[in-house]
Amino acid sequence: MNANLLYTEEEISRCTLSDKREIVFQLRNLLRKKEWVSVSFNEGKHHFLTFLVELSEQDNRCYFDLGGNKSLNEKFFKTDICQFSSTCDGVRIYFSGASPRAARLKGEETFAVSLPKTLLRLQRRDSYRLQLPSARPYFCHVQDERLRDMALPLYDISVGGFGVQVAAKPPFELLERFEDCCIDLREQGCLKTVAEVRYIMSTENRARRPVWHMGCQLVAPTLADEILLQRFIARIEIERRNLFST
């Protein structure tokens, strides 16, 4: 695996904005395009999707849509620090917020945080896609329309998403979203994220038997999620290299 897949400290430092005008420009771009924003808190144990609804330079505040999960909202408003991530024009955007507070804006329920003092912009790269072993497969756990847990065997994985290969057509639709997706990375734990079905197609395996391949894209993964996946991919590559060198 190419070592430059990981972002270096120099790259992160170079891509971190601290000028308020530049930060406001990036946030207004998110606002204008209504891009999904992932919010994580409690050290990544909880997360939800939202979008920016208003930006006030005068009040020095950002206002985001508040979800309808009351239990999650109560936990959220007790946190001191939260992390935001999104993708806009092919660029990953990350910033932090402190002490989120409920706020009503034009009659709508929202939450507000102060304008971030720094904002990280990382250009998206072509994702290295790793085919995973089939003898002892890794699994992704999702829920179907009846909220039943389904363990899907992973065919391949990248920083931006994963592929599933199964014998029968998956019972999902294009653009269907898995809000509670759990990718089991074994020794590295379970990556809890949001994934969206991008394509479903029939194909053949090496034995020329019909199989179905489903590709899923991660929705606004956090920087921590990307680093975890990069480390997982690197570990699998090392294990595979050691296996063939013995």
Residue-wise pLDDT tens digits, 81-103? 999 998 887 788 899 999 999 99
CB 76 within 8 A of CB 41: yes
Q: Which domains does the chain possess?
A: 3-123 (2.30.110.10), 130-245 (2.40.10.220)
pLDDT in tens, 20-69: 988 999 999 899 988 889 899 988 788 888 999 999 998 999 999 998 88
3 falls in which pLDDT band (50, 70, 90)? very low
**Phi/psi class of residue 181: alpha, beta or left (left: φ > 0; alpha: ψ in -120 to 50)?**
beta
pTM of the prediction?
Answer: 0.62
pLDDT value, residue 78: 93
Nearest residue to 120 (alpha-carbon basis) of 224, 43, 36: 224
Sign of CA dihedral 13, 11, 130, 2: negative
pLDDT value, residue 202: 84
Angle (CA) 79-16-8 rounded to 5° is: 100
pLDDT value, residue 127: 59
pLDDT value, residue 204: 73
CB 198 within 8 A of CB 17: no
Nearest residue to 52 (alpha-carbon basis) of 75, 26, 70: 26
pLDDT in tens, 161-219: 999 999 998 999 888 999 889 999 999 999 999 999 998 988 776 677 888 999 999 98
For residue 135, pLDDT over 80 is answered with: yes
pLDDT value, residue 240: 78
* HSE-CB of 167 using CA atoms within 13 angstroms: 2
Looking at per-residue pLDDT, the higher value among 201 and 246 belongs to 201
Q: For 135-151, what is the mean pLDDT?
A: 86
Both tokens of 7, joined, read 């972002």
b/e burial code for range 61-95 (CB count within 10 A of at least 16 → b) = ebbbbbeeeeeebeebeebeebbbbbbbeeebbbb
